[in-house]
């Protein structure tokens, strides 16, 4: 007889070993190096989900599916989040937290270092030499520019911090080429001094000089570390009059300046350009196109330009130009551009207004390869059928499932996600995830594709031609996505994403849910229509319709929107995103936004006979 058969069931269950609990830290990765901070978030999952769970002694709420996220204190240096379940199961996640900046002490050796001017700089009379230094606090500090000025005062701010700042205006009489910038502490009779020299030398310019862009898609910024202003092609002339921190200062007009990366420009001739105009404008010729209208603006040098959308048209600003346009040639079959107006807006600045029949759907501006002219292509709105059951017939929509299913590693390899377990990979592997990950180790890149496929099917059912920047697990680099949108013939572009937050942020500091982004004026109606649909249908907090300086949102050729559906780092929202029903709600809402954009009337109800 089998003795086990004779034992009560309760005794058998008591004798069986209990299943061990499990703790799985997903983020931050093992060995991650975090900047100096007092608290940060950590997330992952545990099993069983009903077990009491603590991290570093603090009780942590666990979502029914086992996911958790917590916002906890950290300490500088080697630090660990130590998790424990009620059954004694433990696990930990080790991190390195950077130390806070040293509280500078007046004891010990006297020290001083210049913390800016790490590279060569160029200044004009009227500019300021602004020096920053750090060292022993409580000292009398001065700075000098070789052969120009000596012992200008530095002010310690705040007092006792050891941070010193000074400024001196460059005068018309100052002369300097490759001069050394130095700082020192004044030493009393029995005191100790210290001195420092900047890594970069200083040159005082006497005249502007000419550069030209050396590659395509060069960005001009409004400050050395500022936002985007203009996007230039290769060979565009720029008048430079300064340099700092690897950036060149560009004079666009008497009142406008911009900054461009040193590595994106090269010397151009003539060395001393005519200022403020390098060239002049000529005739403007218009032509009807399948997409709207195209204009050839004669201009005899590649000069920088900007475009500004207006309620009924586009304003083109050409820098370094004198207005010498005597002719505008219209195409009698062109019904989109109604009028062209032009003016000399300022010295060296010409403005051309293209007045259109309705708002501009999109535009593209580029220098012609066949003539000395700037080509301005203006798009009118597509004309969908609006007739049910296929009201979007005649519209092409490009969908972009954000991110790529490959890791980005420092050794230039791109291993696929399915080949690794992210939660155990660790920072030592020096690989970065393209996109976000959730507590249950759900990857954003996969969710984005699932949602985009549902949206594709919904839009196709409404008659739209739908194309994807990626259809499966292929790698598509970020800069290629907007290029694909154009080459695929898109009338609309929607980039599908899900959200996360940065290290150190408090995930519970505000309601978190969906947000919709646009960049250009012509994209706002699309983003606003999707946002309205989300307000009606998506049961998550509204984080608003937003302007966002994202690469995929900066498309000029068509309306573009970037949709952040939910925060996948929050256990409840991650679970929602993994639900087929919720994915369908998201897709239906984006599709409803597209219908709203084109003012499609509700589908007629079938009459029962």
H runs (alpha helix) in 489-604: 524-537, 571-577, 580-597
Cβ-based neighbour number of residue 303 at 10 Å: 24
- What is residue 188's predicted lDDT score, i.e. its pLDDT? 62
Residue 191: the pLDDT is: 52
Domains observed in the chain: 21-97 (2.60.40.10), 112-204 (2.60.40.10), 209-267 (2.30.30.40), 279-379 (2.60.40.3500), 396-405+443-597 (3.40.630.40)
d(CA 248, CA 212): 12
CA distance 493 to 554: 11
Per-residue three-class SS string for 197-212: ECCCCEEECCCCEEEE
Strands 313-319 and 337-346: unpaired
What are the C-alpha distances in Å from 491 to residues 290, 295, 560, 587?
13, 20, 9, 18
In contact, 411 and 431? CB cutoff 8 Å: no
Farthest CA pair distance, the chain = 112
Q: Reduced to 3 DSSP states, what percent helix, strand and coil does the chain have, rounded to the nearest 5?
A: 15, 40, 45
Model confidence over 279-295: pLDDT tens digits?
A: 999 999 999 999 999 99
Pull the structure tokens for residue 488. 């695929």
Cβ atoms within 10 A of the Cβ of 130, count?
13
Cβ atoms within 10 Å of 112's Cβ, excluding its own = 21
Q: Is the confidence at residue 390, as pLDDT, over 80?
A: yes
User: Which tokens belong to 578?
Assistant: 């993994």
Q: Cite the DSSP H helix spans in 30-70.
A: none
Q: How confident is the model at residue 171 (pLDDT cuts 50, 70, 90)?
A: very high
Q: Which candidate, 423, 305, 581, places its Cα nearest to that of 45?
A: 423
pTM of structure: 0.89
pLDDT at 3: 39
3-class DSSP assignment, residue 383: coil
Omega before 389 cis (within 30°)?
Answer: yes
Take residue 45 and report the two structure tokens written for it: 């999952």
Whether residue 473 has pLDDT greater than 90: no
Residue 341 has φ and ψ, to the nearest 5°, of: -120, 150
Q: What is the DSSP string of 480-514?
A: HHHHHHHHTT-SEEEEEEEE---TT--TTSS---E
Residue 30 confidence (pLDDT): 94
Helix (H) or strand (E) holding 55: strand 53-55
In angstroms, the CA 2 to CA 12 distance is 13
Six-digit token pair at 605? 């109800």
> Is the separation of the CB atoms in 205 and 241 below 8 Å?
yes
The tokens for 50 are 């009903």
**Residue 104 pLDDT exceeds 90:** no
Q: How many helices (H) and strands (E) does the chain have?
A: 7, 43
> What are 371's two structure tokens?
């003539």
% of the chain with per-residue pLDDT over 70 = 94
Which has the closest alpha carbon to 82: 22, 25, 21, 19? 25
Copy the structure tokens of residue 270: 């003539």
| Residue 262, phi then psi, degrees to nearest 5 | -50, -40
* pLDDT top residue among 109 and 287: 287
Dist CA 483 CA 486 (whole Å): 5
pLDDT higher than 60, residue 60 = yes
Q: What is the pLDDT of residues 404-434, one digit of tens each?
A: 999 888 888 888 888 788 888 888 888 889 9
Classify residue 159 as exposed, middle or buried by CB count within 10 Å of its CB (0-12, 13-18, 19+). exposed
CA distance 260 to 224: 8
pLDDT, averaged across the chain: 92
Mean pLDDT of 571-589: 98
Closest CA to 72 of 41, 30, 97, 98: 41
């Amino acid at each position: 007889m089998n003795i086990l058969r004779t034992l009560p069931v309760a005794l058998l269950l008591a004798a069986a070993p209990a299943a061990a609990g499990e703790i799985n830290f997903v983020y931050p990765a093992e060995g991650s190096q975090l900047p100096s901070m007092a608290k940060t978030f950590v997330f992952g999952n545990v099993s069983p989900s009903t077990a009491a769970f603590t991290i570093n002694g603090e009780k942590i709420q666990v979502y029914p599916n086992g996911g958790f996220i917590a916002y906890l204190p950290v300490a500088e240096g080697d630090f660990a989040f130590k998790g424990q379940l009620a059954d004694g199961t433990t696990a930990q996640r080790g991190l390195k937290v950077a130390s806070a900046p040293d509280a500078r002490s007046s004891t010990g050796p006297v020290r001083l270092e210049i913390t800016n001017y790490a590279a060569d700089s160029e200044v004009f009379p009227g500019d300021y030499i602004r020096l920053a230094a750090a060292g022993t606090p409580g000292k009398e500090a001065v700075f000098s520019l070789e052969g120009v000025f000596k012992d200008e005062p530095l002010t310690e701010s705040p007092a006792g911090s050891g941070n010193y700042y000074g400024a001196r205006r460059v005068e018309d009489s100052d002369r300097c080429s490759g001069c050394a910038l130095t700082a020192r502490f004044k030493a009393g009779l029995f005191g100790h001094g210290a001195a420092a020299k900047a890594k970069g030398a200083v040159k005082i310019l006497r005249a502007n000089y000419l550069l030209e862009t050396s590659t395509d898609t060069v960005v001009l910024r409004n400050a050395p570390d500022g936002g985007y202003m203009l996007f230039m092609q290769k060979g565009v002339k720029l008048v430079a009059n300064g340099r700092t921190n690897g950036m060149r200062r560009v004079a666009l007009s008497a009142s406008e300046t911009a900054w461009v990366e040193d590595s994106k420009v090269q010397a151009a001739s003539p060395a001393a350009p005519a200022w403020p105009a390098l060239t002049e404008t000529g005739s403007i010729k218009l032509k009807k196109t399948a997409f709207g209208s195209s204009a050839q603006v004669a201009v005899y040098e590649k000069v920088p330009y900007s475009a500004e959308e207006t309620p009924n048209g586009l304003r083109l600003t050409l820098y370094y130009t004198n207005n010498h346009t005597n002719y505008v040639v219209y195409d009698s079959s062109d019904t989109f551009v109604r009028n062209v107006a032009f003016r000399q807006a300022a010295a060296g600045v010409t403005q051309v207004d293209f007045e259109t029949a309705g708002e501009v759907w999109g535009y593209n501006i580029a220098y012609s390869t066949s003539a000395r002219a700037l080509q301005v292509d203006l798009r009118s709105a597509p004309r969908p059928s609006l007739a049910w059951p296929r009201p979007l017939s005649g519209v092409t929509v490009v969908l972009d499932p954000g991110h790529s299913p490959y890791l980005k590693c420092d050794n230039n390899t791109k291993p696929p996600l399915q080949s690794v377990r992210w939660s155990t990979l660790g920072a030592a592997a020096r690989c970065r995830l393209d996109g976000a990950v959730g507590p249950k180790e759900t990857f954003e890149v996969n969710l984005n594709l699932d949602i985009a496929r549902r949206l594709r099917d919904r839009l196709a059912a409404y008659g739209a031609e739908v194309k994807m920047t990626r259809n499966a697990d292929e790698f598509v680099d970020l800069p290629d996505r907007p290029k694909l949108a154009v080459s695929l013939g898109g009338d609309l572009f929607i980039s599908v994403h899900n959200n996360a937050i940065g290290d150190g942020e408090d995930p519970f500091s505000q309601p978190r849910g969906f947000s919709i982004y646009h960049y250009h004026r012509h994209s706002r109606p699309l983003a606003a229509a999707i946002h309205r649909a989300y307000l009606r249908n998506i049961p998550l907090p509204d984080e608003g319709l937003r302007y966002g300086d994202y690469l995929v949102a900066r498309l000029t050729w068509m309306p573009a929107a970037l949709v952040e559906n939910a925060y996948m780092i929050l256990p409840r929202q991650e679970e929602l995103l993994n639900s087929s029903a919720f994915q369908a709600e998201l897709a239906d809402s984006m599709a409803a936004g597209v219908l709203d954009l084109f003012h499609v009337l509700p589908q007629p109800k079938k009459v029962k006979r």
